[in-house]
């Protein structure tokens, strides 16, 4: 998980800039910060208490932490929970959404299983929205102005799901004009996979068993792009209790979803080369061994170690070493098939998983890679480096005992190839 925090890079910061009212927190299973960022950090949290490894509780005043602590602990058992909380004196209203951060290929996890490595909290300042709700109780003239200026996409729907009224924010989220939305069915812009994921809640709403509900949905905007949003839906009734219309609020969380996806990518990939990291690769290897054991599917595992890489760092500096690793990683990816999985195991060691190949084919690929890698010219000022590598492989078939055993065999073959180059006995 170290790379998740230490190597956020420009992509994560760009995603955060898209959430001007948000505070993003990533925390571990001890409720200590792995990451805390966002333009709203200075307003909604204590920046001095949000450093990596510091307790999350120290970032909040007690009147805020006490009601939201159960949300953070629930995330550690895989639950997603939300709550609104006011700061002292009701100066700010915060919407706190907390859920688990799941990773695959963790130690001790079975094939295909994800484990909760911590949690992700998104805290939004919804003070303006709550003030708008309060103002909505005023006479109609004031309500119309507040409705139009509300920062959250808001609209009224008839009982058939057609838009009766929408505000400016809803038009901005969907990309449609007011005239294009009025009379249009709400489900006409919903992603088909999410069209009916709230059917049960709507039934309960109409039956009076729910006062309101929230659910995450994906929508298509006017340009055909997917928008992720939180839908809040409530039902307005007449004095006799008969349903009149729905009130829908849409909160665009597309930037947050992109950030979550980026964080997941960081957890499973090497930040220097962009290749799979050891954890994800070992997970893939376990799945391949299981397929080979059950169905007899043949595959091969290849381990690649650069020769004399320490000398590159010592003589030309670590920047040249990093460039060499990136260059070799790109060369491997270009040379291999799209179905082949390439990883950096650590240091100057790479690995490749070749599905649907036998030992003879694996040997051909190994020889090919040994020829390709030296063609990677690395410019180090007045010199051009041509790295070389030692390659070893192991065949995976129904006789494979385990992923660990296959990795040991491939590693031994690689070291045998390296010793053969130096004339040492195998």
Quick: pLDDT tens for 131-177: 555 544 444 555 667 678 778 899 988 888 888 889 999 999 999 99
What single-letter DSSP state applies at residue 185?
Answer: B
Contact 266, 35 (CB under 8 A): no
Which pair of tokens denotes residue 213? Answer: 């509900």
Tell me what pLDDT residue 98 has.
92
Helix or strand (DSSP H, E) at 131:
helix 127-135
Q: How confident is residue 291, by pLDDT bands cut at 50, 70 and 90?
A: very high
Are 397 and 292 spatial neighbours (Cβ–Cβ below 8 Å)?
Answer: yes
The residues assigned a catalytic role are 348
- Which is higher by pLDDT, 415 or 37? 415
Mean pLDDT of the chain: 84
Residues 6+ apart with CB under 8 A from 310: none
What SS3 state is found at 155?
strand
Residue reference for tokens 């979550």: 260
Query: 10 Å Cβ neighbour count for 43?
Result: 12
User: Can you give the pLDDT at residue 94?
Assistant: 83
Per-residue pLDDT, averaged over 405-419, amounts to: 95
Report whether pLDDT(363) > 80.
yes
Domains of the chain with bracketed CATH: 2-125 (3.30.450.20), 130-255 (3.30.450.20), 273-421 (3.30.70.270)
Beta strand pairing status for 22-28 and 93-104? Answer: unpaired
Q: Give residue 2's pLDDT band: very low, low, confident or very high (50, 70, 90).
A: very low
Which pLDDT does position 401 carry in this prediction?
A: 93
Cβ neighbours of 315 (radius 10 Å): 13
Structure confidence at residue 62 (pLDDT): 86
**pLDDT for res 417:** 93
pTM, 2 dp: 0.53
What pLDDT, on the 0 to 100 scale, is given for residue 138?
A: 46
- As given in the structure block, the two tokens for residue 8 are 């956020």
When mean pLDDT is compared across 22-36, 218-232, 297-311, 333-347, the lowest value belongs to 22-36
pLDDT in tens, 21-76: 578 889 999 999 988 877 656 655 567 788 889 999 988 888 889 999 999 999 99
Mean pLDDT of 323-327: 93
pLDDT band at 112 (very low <50, low <70, confident <90, very high): low
Residues 6+ apart with CB under 8 A from 275: 269, 329, 333, 342, 343, 344, 350
Helix (H) or strand (E) holding 411: helix 403-422
pLDDT above 60 for 407 = yes
Instruction: Check pLDDT > 90 for residue 237.
Output: no
């Amino acid at each position: 998980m170290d790379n998740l925090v230490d190597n956020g890079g420009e992509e994560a910061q760009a995603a955060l800039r898209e959430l001007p009212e948000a505070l993003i927190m990533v925390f571990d299973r001890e409720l200590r910060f792995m990451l805390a960022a966002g333009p709203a950090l200075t307003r909604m949290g204590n920046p001095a208490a949000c450093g990596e490894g510091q307790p999350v509780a120290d970032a909040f005043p007690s009147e805020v932490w006490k009601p939201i602590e159960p949300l953070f602990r629930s995330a550690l058992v895989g639950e997603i929970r939300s709550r609104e909380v006011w700061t002292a004196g009701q100066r700010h209203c915060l919407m706190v959404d907390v859920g688990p951060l799941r990773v695959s290929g963790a130690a001790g996890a079975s094939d295909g299983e994800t484990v909760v490595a911590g949690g992700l909290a998104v805290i939004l300042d919804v003070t303006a929205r709550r003030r708008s709700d309060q103002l909505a109780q005023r006479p109609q003239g004031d309500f119309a102005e507040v409705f139009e200026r509300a920062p959250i996409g808001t609209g009224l729907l008839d009982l058939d799901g057609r838009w009766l009224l929408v505000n400016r924010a809803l038009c901005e989220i969907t990309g449609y004009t007011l005239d294009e939305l009025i009379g249009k069915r709400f489900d006409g812009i919903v992603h088909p996979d999410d069209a009916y994921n709230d059917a049960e809640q709507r039934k309960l709403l109409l039956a009076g068993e729910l006062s309101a509900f929230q659910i995450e949905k994906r929508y298509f905007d006017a340009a055909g792009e997917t928008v992720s949003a939180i839908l809040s839906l409530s039902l307005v009734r007449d004095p006799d209790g008969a349903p009149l219309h729905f009130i829908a609020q849409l909160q665009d969380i597309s930037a947050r979803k992109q950030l979550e996806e980026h964080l997941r990518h960081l957890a499973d990939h090497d930040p220097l080369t962009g290749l799979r990291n050891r954890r994800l690769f070992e997970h893939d290897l376990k799945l391949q061994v299981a397929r080979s054991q059950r169905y007899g599917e043949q595959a091969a595992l290849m381990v690649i170690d650069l020769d004399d890489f320490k000398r590159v760092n010592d003589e030309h500096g670590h920047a040249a070493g990093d460039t060499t690793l990136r260059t070799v990683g790109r060369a491997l990816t270009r040379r291999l098939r799209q179905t082949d999985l390439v990883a950096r195991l650590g240091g100057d060691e790479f690995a490749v998983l070749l599905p649907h190949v036998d030992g003879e084919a694996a040997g051909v690929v190994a020889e090919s890679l040994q020829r390709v890698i030296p063609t990677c010219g690395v410019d180090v000022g007045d010199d051009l480096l041509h790295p070389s590598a030692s390659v070893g492989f192991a065949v995976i078939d129904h006789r494979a005992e385990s992923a660990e055993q296959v990795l040991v065999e491939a590693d031994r073959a690689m070291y045998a190839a390296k010793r053969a180059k130096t004339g040492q006995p195998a």
